[in-house]
Structure 1
Amino acid sequence: MEGVESSAWWILAVAVAGIVAVMSNRLSERTHIPAPAFFLVAAAVASDVVPALRQFSITTVQNVVTVALVLLLFHGGMELGWRRLRPEAGPVAWIGIAGTFLTAALVALAAHLLGFDWRAALLVGTALAPTDPAVVFSVLGGKEITGRAGVLLQGESGANDPVGIALMAGLLGAATGSVGATAGRVALVFAEQMLIGAAVGVGAGLALKWFIRKVPLPSEGLYPLRMLAGAFAVYGAATVAHGSGFLAAFLAGIVLGDARAPYKREIERFHTALGSLAEIVAFTMLGLTITLGSFAAEGAWGDGLILAVVLAFLARPLVMALLTVPLRLRLGERIFLAFAGLKGAVPILLGSFVLSAHLSHSQRVYDVVFVVVAFSVIAQGSLVPTVARWCRISIRSSEVEPWALGVRLRDRPEGAQRVTVQPGSPADGTAIADLDLGEHVWISFAVRDGHLLAADGSTRLRSDDELLLLTDPDASDRWSRLFANRP
């Protein structure tokens, strides 16, 4: 029975830690410091106070964080969806790929000036190049960035994580030799990872989309589990084929984001909860790998803070200023995108790959990456809402709505469409009777500010109103332009 009692103590400790972690989101709302920062710093301090907490090997931590990252990328892709991404797919790919390379190069140059040799400097730059959308949305306290800025930020963050991981894999796998040979090896590994990952992600996403629509299950609770298993199957298939499993998971999520499938709302809620849990676990596990006592000896505090300032106020703004020139964004949107590229779990995960490779200066690289991420989520992250307000970025409140109104149907409702009135769209401020909906579209009901709206022909719609439309599935969908942003 002693073993059972010992296990019970561990279960109780984990449960209490989980409750505290979940409640930290309330503290995040008040301080504007991202909730992941509390997990990361608290775990790092706890591992110094109680060294027994560092019993996990770096490989175990990497495996756990990899699982969490697959969940976050797949869920992020589903939230984004192809319909939202399609108008910005080119800019997202441009910023996600070119931005990662340029940011890595500038940070590597700064790291080299701080005393890192060129290979270590490139590893530092590559580790710090990717951004983290989960941290940004945690800062905003449940609010959603609308318009192009939100799509570009979310799309870039999802795209540059796989790019950064593939680039790190190329650098670690490159044999020492001439610069040309090393660059060629890195380019080959990167291209292989991206192409195979993209092909598997899109192909498997389409196959999974067909599968979930055509093959019924006997219980409602099995549908979210099937989607979860599908996400990991996509990652595994791409990785086994020597592609980027992370890119595959992200793209599969995008393909499935707009799919009309049985129990879609339940699947989305399930993956939202799992994404929150994955974020907590990832930052906690990574924090447990840190030994704060060694930072002073390695010079990590000074080097990390210098690189954090260079990255936040020089490298990223310069890169985004160059890459957003052809995108015709407002100045405020460009400034916000430059500032809101916060760092998160992926840079520390990439730093752990360097640590497990046992290269020269690997511990220093890992410690410096941790300091930069901590600065980004705490100091820079707390300013994101203020910067968004200064830049006049449209942010839509998505307050908790615990009550749902819905019906269950045996067959798929082909003609039912759910839309949100976008700010500046033709429907924004227009009476329902004045909308050119045609003869085959009817507004069934509307929701405004979390309340059912008694709508008739004289009701003027507002931005963020949610509408349920009944349409003829065989008729044209030209009505959709009425609710979208004007080009």
Structure 2
Amino acid sequence: MVPFASVVLITALVGIAAVLSNRLAEWLPVPAPALFLVGAAVASDIRPEWGKIPISAVEHVATVALAIILFDGGMQIGWRRFRSAAGAIVWIGVVGTLVTAAALALAAHLIFGLDWRISLLLGTALAPTDPAVVFSVLGRREISGRSGVLLQGESGANDPVGIALLIVLLGATTFSGGAVARAATEFGLQMLLGAAVGVAGGLGLLWFMRRVPLPAAGLYSLRVLMSALAIYGAATLAHGSGFLAVLVAGIVIGDQNAPYKADIARFHSALANLAEIVVFVLLGLTIQLAGPDGIGQGNAWLIGLVLALLLTMLIRPVLVGILLWKVRLTRGERGFVLWTGLKGAVPILLGTFIVHAGVPDSHRAYEIIFIVVAFSVIVQGGLVPTLARLLGVPLRVVDPEPWGVGVRFRHEPQELHRYRIAPSSAADGSTLADLHAREIWISLIIRNGRLVPTTPDTTLQANDEVLVTLPTPLPPAHITATFTTPIHP
């Protein structure tokens, strides 16, 4: 028992250090994922036995972690936010991933003379962006405006696209016209089946959450977690994209009311943070997959650095910039979106797929992926807050609110609704007496984390959170428009 207790103690201390590193990242210009990455790489160099993890175990753990991250990302987006930029998200999530992968493959082949197959696999592995890294880099800062929805939606949408494309490429033995047509058909079917299972699974899960009570409050979050993993498994067994399915399911339930919904959201946010830590620690520990000599040997580091620079400075700004040409964004928002295409968990997972498949030169490919992800997280991610200020992208600091006062109901309260007052909305600057004249009754106002007394002369301000009591079961459209942005518990 003593050796096992030592392992438990060391693991717990490492976990505490990983959690506290998020606090350290607020003071240093280095994102928290970079600390996990570098710390684990140094640990594996000091204790090489720590890095001797079976590739199949890394693949399985990273798969589950990514499914959790994507499901949480979908819940954070929600259907209403997704619908506001659905066309742009799908357009750059699918087409943007394909053209980025093609450009990276072309660069790897023409500049460094890599074989076409490994070049295509590298390009595909490095094309997707990562929602967990983007918002970890931002910390407590929330992106206002359309660029925030676009970034989060794109990074969620292009992960399943990149994964499905790589799986198709690994299964292809030749690249003749017929093979390309079959690969395109298989890729399209994976996307369609994944989306269909995600919609059906999300609607079924929502019904399950709302209609089937459980004996203990803690079981509600576990039920959603197990259901999300079941949706992933069902979609994968149906030869669809399981990752797309969990993302879509998360979007379907994201802004819908359900029992213990706030608790469920907090639980899955914590799990997604844990999954991010696990994946980046795995990347650092398994750098030995790059080969017996590890990082720094051969020219893999040079290839990775050049590809990272091309991707950041040329490929994404030009190709994705063209795709975003018709999307309504300010010049600053456009530049911010084009810069903030950060790499993270997906390249790690896809790198393990390449190694596990036994593709020639796969170990060097894994090292290249390590270099690109490290550059993206440390350099590109470290400059995100500064660039946002320079480009005038509005960032709102969201301070944690550890204290709460809640009221539980046996049945869903149809007359109560919670809103955040949007700037320049009808409620912004109105008094409670003005709203009472419209039969809108405010029972609670939270401003900057504090309660505000509710008197007829109390004036509402932008970003106030209010609890509204309505005389009718459902709010009419003009009442919702009064506040613009509804918040669902």
Please give the TM-score of this superposition, normalised by the length of structure 1. Answer: 0.95
Q: Distance in 1 between matches of 2:216 and 2:276?
A: 28
Counterpart in the other structure of 2:260: 263
Q: Distance in 1 between matches of 2:6 and 2:157?
A: 41
Counterpart of 2:296 in 1: which secondary structure? helix
Q: Distance in 1 between matches of 2:429 and 2:363?
A: 58
Q: Distance in 1 between matches of 2:351 and 2:429?
A: 50
- Structure 1 residue 436, shift from structure 2 partner: 9.2
Counterpart of 2:369 in 1: which secondary structure? helix
The structure 2 residue matched to 1:105, chosen from 79, 90, 102, is: 102
Q: Distance in 2 between matches of 1:338 and 1:6?
A: 49
Counterpart in the other structure of 1:226: 223
Counterpart in the other structure of 2:198: 201
**8 Å Cα contact 1:88/1:151 also seen in 2:** yes
Counterpart in the other structure of 2:416: 416
Counterpart in the other structure of 1:446: 445
Counterpart in the other structure of 1:116: 114
Counterpart in the other structure of 1:50: 47
Q: 1:125 to 1:435 in 2, by over 3 A?
A: farther
Counterpart in the other structure of 1:135: 133
The superposition leaves residues 122-153 of structure 1 with CA deviations (integer Å, 9 ceiling, x where unpaired) of: 11111111101111211122221121010000
- Supply the AA of the counterpart residue of 2:11: V
- Supply the AA of the counterpart residue of 2:320: M
- Supply the AA of the counterpart residue of 1:134: A
The superposition leaves residues 394-452 of structure 1 with CA deviations (integer Å, 9 ceiling, x where unpaired) of: 2222111110011111111112111112234343344444459833x322211111111
- Structure 1 residue 296, shift from structure 2 partner: 3.0
- Supply the AA of the counterpart residue of 1:312: T
Q: Does 1:84 align with 2:84?
A: no
Structure 1 residues 237-252: aligned runs within 5 Å: 237-252=234-249
Counterpart in the other structure of 2:480: 480
Q: Distance in 2 between matches of 1:433 and 1:52?
A: 69
- Structure 1 residue 17, shift from structure 2 partner: 0.5
- Structure 1 residue 282, shift from structure 2 partner: 1.2
**8 Å Cα contact 1:81/1:253 also seen in 2:** yes
Q: Distance in 1 between matches of 2:133 and 2:204?
A: 31
Structure 1 residues 174-185: aligned runs within 5 Å: 174-178=172-176, 180-185=177-182
Q: Distance in 2 between matches of 1:304 and 1:269?
A: 37
Q: Distance in 1 between matches of 2:401 and 2:188?
A: 44
The superposition leaves residues 181-239 of structure 1 with CA deviations (integer Å, 9 ceiling, x where unpaired) of: 33213212211110010000000100110111011111111111111111111111101
- Structure 1 residue 474, shift from structure 2 partner: 4.2
Q: Does 1:388 align with 2:388?
A: yes
Q: 1:437 to 1:136 in 2, by over 3 A?
A: farther
**8 Å Cα contact 2:100/2:315 also seen in 1:** yes
- List, as ranges, runs of 4+ consecutive aligned residues in structure 1 with deviation greater than 6 Å: none
Counterpart in the other structure of 1:307: 307
Counterpart of 1:218 in 2: which secondary structure? coil
**8 Å Cα contact 2:37/2:284 also seen in 1:** yes
Worse-matched range after superposition: 140-149 or 193-202: 140-149
- Structure 1 residue 242, shift from structure 2 partner: 0.6
Counterpart in the other structure of 2:160: 162
The superposition leaves residues 322-343 of structure 1 with CA deviations (integer Å, 9 ceiling, x where unpaired) of: 1111112111110000001111
**8 Å Cα contact 1:146/1:395 also seen in 2:** yes
- Structure 1 residue 21, shift from structure 2 partner: 0.6
Counterpart in the other structure of 1:464: 463
**8 Å Cα contact 2:287/2:295 also seen in 1:** no
Pairwise CA RMSD of aligned residues?
A: 1.6
- Supply the AA of the counterpart residue of 2:57: T
The superposition leaves residues 355-389 of structure 1 with CA deviations (integer Å, 9 ceiling, x where unpaired) of: 11111221111111110000000011110001111
Counterpart in the other structure of 1:298: 298
Q: Does 1:373 align with 2:373?
A: yes
Q: Distance in 1 between matches of 2:204 and 2:121?
A: 36
Worse-matched range after superposition: 370-379 or 127-136: 127-136
- Supply the AA of the counterpart residue of 2:138: L
Counterpart in the other structure of 2:281: 284
Q: Distance in 2 between matches of 1:110 and 1:430?
A: 57
**8 Å Cα contact 1:25/1:35 also seen in 2:** yes
Q: Distance in 2 between matches of 1:473 and 1:339?
A: 45
**8 Å Cα contact 2:415/2:473 also seen in 1:** yes
Q: Distance in 1 between matches of 2:474 and 2:429?
A: 29
**8 Å Cα contact 2:435/2:441 also seen in 1:** no
**8 Å Cα contact 2:335/2:391 also seen in 1:** yes
Q: 1:475 to 1:49 in 2, by over 3 A?
A: closer
Q: 1:443 to 1:47 in 2, by over 3 A?
A: same
Counterpart in the other structure of 1:397: 397
Q: Distance in 2 between matches of 1:70 and 1:177?
A: 30
**8 Å Cα contact 2:283/2:370 also seen in 1:** no
The structure 2 residue matched to 1:171, chosen from 160, 169, 181, is: 169
- Structure 1 residue 478, shift from structure 2 partner: 2.0
Q: Distance in 1 between matches of 2:434 and 2:389?
A: 33
Q: Distance in 1 between matches of 2:165 and 2:456?
A: 56
Counterpart in the other structure of 1:354: 354
Q: Distance in 2 between matches of 1:405 and 1:8?
A: 39
- Structure 1 residue 321, shift from structure 2 partner: 1.5
Q: Distance in 2 between matches of 1:303 and 1:372?
A: 9
Counterpart in the other structure of 1:427: 427
Counterpart in the other structure of 2:207: 210
**8 Å Cα contact 1:320/1:334 also seen in 2:** no
**8 Å Cα contact 2:416/2:469 also seen in 1:** yes
Q: 1:461 to 1:390 in 2, by over 3 A?
A: farther
Worse-matched range after superposition: 180-189 or 288-297: 288-297
Counterpart of 1:326 in 2: which secondary structure? coil
- Which consecutive residues of structure 2, in runs of 5 or more, have no partner in the other structure? none
Structure 1 residues 16-95: aligned runs within 5 Å: 16-95=13-92
Equivalenced residues, count: 480
**8 Å Cα contact 1:308/1:372 also seen in 2:** yes
The superposition leaves residues 145-178 of structure 1 with CA deviations (integer Å, 9 ceiling, x where unpaired) of: 1210100000001000001001111111112252
- Structure 1 residue 484, shift from structure 2 partner: 2.5
- Structure 1 residue 278, shift from structure 2 partner: 0.9
